[in-house]
Amino acid sequence: MTVSLKDVAERAGVSIKTVSNVVNNYRHVTPAMRERVRRAIDELGYRPNLTARHLRKGRTGIIALAVPELGNPYFAELAGAVIDAAAAHEYTVLLDHTGGSREREILVSQGFRAQVIDGLILSPIELEAEDLRGRDQDAPLVLLGERAYDLPYDHIAIDNVAAARTAVRHLLGLGRSRIAFLGARTDRINEPSHLRLRGWRTELTAAGLPAPDTLVAPTGGWGHADGATAMARLLDSGERPDAVFAYNDLIAIGAMRVLAERGLRVPRDVAVVGFDDVTEGRYGTVSLTTISPDKHTIARLAVASVVERLRAGGAVPEDAEAGGGAGRGRELRVSFRLVERESTRGGG
């Protein structure tokens, strides 16, 4: 039998309104009264009807998350973090992936499934500002990644240039000087790979070292095979780096496979740093040093932003650097850290 608010109220000896206030976590309930109601809830096994609650507010209780590629472990781990963050606000997450296609990103951002979702968290690759200027949707939109649009949508990102410089600085500190960059994307000039390439080049230049294009290996995608192909092409060209900074962990892992096949030891012959800190990188024969974005904070801020917009405003979270004001999107910067493992410090 379904337990109702009335049943809980009768068991606790309080009004239905008091039970509702406790269930909705309103502050103006005394600790003693809150404890009495919670005890009744536990005894009866009451579970709130979240669907009905959202519908009473004219909402669906669903937030959508659209990422370029769900098969990429970074986005899969980020999706898990978003689901956890949304659950804390009693929201369900609908997942979608765009393949990094501008057409698909436009479709998603312009109201695809608009009658189903209350808000959208989107990680775009090729979407342009002009694609968003005519957006006529009530559902709040939050953007992830380094693309800046100067539009009234909250934007959450790490500093990719600074993160890349941190990775290269680590390699320089180990005495490496011929540091290759794997993962440049010649077809998409606005995506994070170009910012990471800029960071690679800036840090080498600051150290008084050349940053030759011959040590830049483009890739056609984000996966293991792309990293393996790029590393093999670089070695076949006659270039012999003593270190590699890869656009992401999957490219780094693919590169390490080729290095092993060519008889080069990691890190003794070639040190390797990745980016994203995906779980797979921790458990290889040689664990991977990587840049670790704070995925949980990205997820928490993204969900909080949607919820705040739905509530027609709210303070910027204290642990974010913010710019903008009323009617403008906020720029929320999230921290990152270098995680040192065997691919630069040992095991080679």
- CATH code for the domain of 270: 3.40.50.2300
227/275 Cα distance (integer angstroms): 13
Q: pLDDT-derived band of residue 44, with 50, 70 and 90 as boundaries?
A: confident
Q: Is residue 73 over pLDDT 70?
A: yes
Say if 185 falls within a structural domain: yes
pLDDT tens digits for range 189-223: 556 788 999 999 999 999 999 999 999 999 988 89
Q: Determine which of 35-44, 67-76, 251-260, 314-323 has the lowest per-residue pLDDT on average.
A: 314-323
Say if 199 falls within a structural domain: yes
Nearest 10 degrees: Cα torsion 103, 116, 142, 162: -70
pLDDT at 316: 38
pLDDT tens digits for range 101-149: 889 998 888 876 666 889 999 999 888 888 887 676 678 999 998 777 7
Q: How many domains does the chain have?
A: 3
Q: pLDDT-derived band of residue 168, with 50, 70 and 90 as boundaries?
A: very high
For residue 44, give Cα distances in angstroms to 11, 29, 296, 299. Answer: 8, 21, 34, 34
Mean pLDDT across the stretch 260-289?
A: 96
Say if 325 falls within a structural domain: no
Q: What is the pTM of this model?
A: 0.79
pLDDT higher for 131 or 338?
338
Which domain range does residue 103 map to? 56-158+294-314
Mean pLDDT across the stretch 294-321?
A: 75
Q: What is the DSSP string of 85-135?
A: HHHHTT-EEEEEE-TT-HHHHHHHHTTTTTTT-SEEEE--SS--HHHHHT-
331/13 Cα distance (integer angstroms): 48
**What is the number of alpha carbons within 13 Å of residue 31 lying toward its C-beta?**
0
Which residue reads 């932003």 in tokens? 305
Please give the structure tokens belonging to residue 161.
Answer: 């240039």
* Residue percentage of the chain with pLDDT more than 70: 86
pLDDT tens digits for range 174-198: 999 999 999 987 555 556 788 999 9
Pair 192, 103 in one domain:
no
Q: Is residue 57 over pLDDT 80?
A: no
Pair 281, 305 in one domain:
no
